[in-house]
Amino acid sequence: MATQLLQFNDKGIYCSAGDFYIDPWKPVEYAVITHAHSDHARWGSKFYLAHRLARGVLKYRLGEIQLETAEYDQSIFRNGVKISFHPAGHIIGSAQVRVEYKGEVWVVSGDYKTEDDGISTPFEPVRCHTFISECTFGMPVYKWPAQQQVYEDINQWWKRNAEEGKITFITGYSLGKAQRILQQLDQSIGRVFLHGVIANTNRALESDGVNLPAAAWLGPDVSIADARGGIIICPPSAIGTPWMRKFHPYSFGYCSGWMALRGAKRRMAADRGFVLSDHADWHGLISAIDATQCECVCLTHGYTASFARYLRERGYNAHEAHTYYGAEEETAELADNGTPAAPPSLPGEEGGVL
């Protein structure tokens, strides 16, 4: 390792040469953000830099921050340090951050997946000397099934529920998983409804030019009869709430990589579990790391200790680092009466701002 271009301190991943942080977990002067999930993009920093497609959701989640955006492969220079974003394939607007200074190249992965989900810009490996990588699912047990088969299973399950007169709930994070599910639903089966936080998130994405399938906000004017036979996409925070329980009879399905573990569906009290993740599986992590042709690997969250041992056995200089990533929290954004908040007006529309 020629230089310690990036270091971990009590605020985050710091580049002293460029005087900036990547995904800091405390407020800093200059924050470079890999994506808009709350464990990587936190409120309080003075200045933010992110990919263009993260603009709307960052402002929706963090408020009126001072934000600059860039395209993939666009070079930004700070104190002689070259910064650029490269597709991570995790969610819309997610990016790996490449940092170059005096011939040394480091890449911070943020969260990533190597399979093309059809909605996020597909992952691209970036050659570097040191790769700072997540390993959320860094165990051999995590091997994702074919996405198309998962989507077919979801649609067949929804169709059976509709034929039985049930409402279907499908759960996924409001930023990332919800949009993947929405684009793959067979809307000939019935109506598609969105929990308020997902409707808000979709509007934020659409403000940056992202095209998403139409779906209805499940507001207070939608009756149980209106929703019968339909499917409701909701975040994990809605599970078991009075808002959800009022739609009985319903069938509830959970989409997550954790569904690959035996007993996970039962612990979530779900009727169905679907193995669908926005992170790389075991083989995806290994192929991504190999493709960087890096010399050193630093693992930030997930099965860091065991995965680092495995990589060292394969000849990598691999170690783990303590971070505050890996705990993305979804807020239900419920009004006092338990109804999801209405999507806000977009800038220029009467009644408010995004």
Do residues 323 and 266 share a domain?
A: no
Q: Which of 18, 26, 56, 57 is nearest to 43 (CA)?
A: 26
pLDDT for position 266: 85
**pLDDT value at position 336?**
30
Residue 345 is assigned to a structural domain of this protein: no
77 closest CA partner among 98, 51, 46, 106: 98
pLDDT of residue 19: 98
Separation CA 354–CA 347 (nearest Å): 6
Instruction: Classify residue 186: in a domain, yes or no.
Output: yes
Q: Are 180 and 305 within one domain? A: no
* Predicted pLDDT of residue 347: 31
Residue 3: what pLDDT? Answer: 63
- pLDDT the model gives residue 354: 22
Provide the phi-psi class of 78: left if phi over 0, else alpha when psi is between -120 and 50, else beta. Answer: beta
pLDDT, position 178: 98
CA dist list (Å): 57 to 68, 99, 272: 13, 24, 29
First to last CA, the chain: 44
How far is residue 70 from each of residues 52, 93, 143, 274, 296, measured CA to CA in Å?
5, 10, 33, 35, 27
Q: Does residue 116 sit in the same domain as residue 158?
A: no
* 123 and 186 together in one domain: no
- Nearest-angstrom CA–CA distance, 308 and 297: 8
Tell me which residues of the chain have a pLDDT lower than 50: 1-2, 329-354
- Report the pLDDT value the prediction gives residue 268, as an integer from 0 to 100: 84
Which of residues 254, 275, 296 is at a domain's end?
275
- pLDDT at residue 328, rounded to an integer: 60
Distance (Å, whole) CA 346 – CA 335: 20
Q: Where in the sequence is the domain holding 86, given as residue range(s)? A: 6-141+279-336
352 located within any domain: no
Structural domain contains residue 317: yes
Total domain count, the chain: 2
Classify residue 212 by burial, with Cβ atoms within 10 Å: 0-12, 13-18, 19+.
middle
The CATH number of the domain holding residue 122 is 3.60.15.10
Domain termination residue (choose one: 224, 257, 275): 275
pLDDT the model gives residue 346:
32
Same domain flag for 90 and 13: yes
Domain check: are 316 and 238 in the same one?
A: no
Query: CATH number of the domain that 165 lies in?
Result: 3.40.50
Alpha-carbon distance values, 306 to 107, 131, 276 (Å): 22, 17, 23
Sequence-separated (6 or more) residues with CB below 8 Å from residue 299: 133, 134, 135, 138, 307, 308, 318, 319, 320, 321
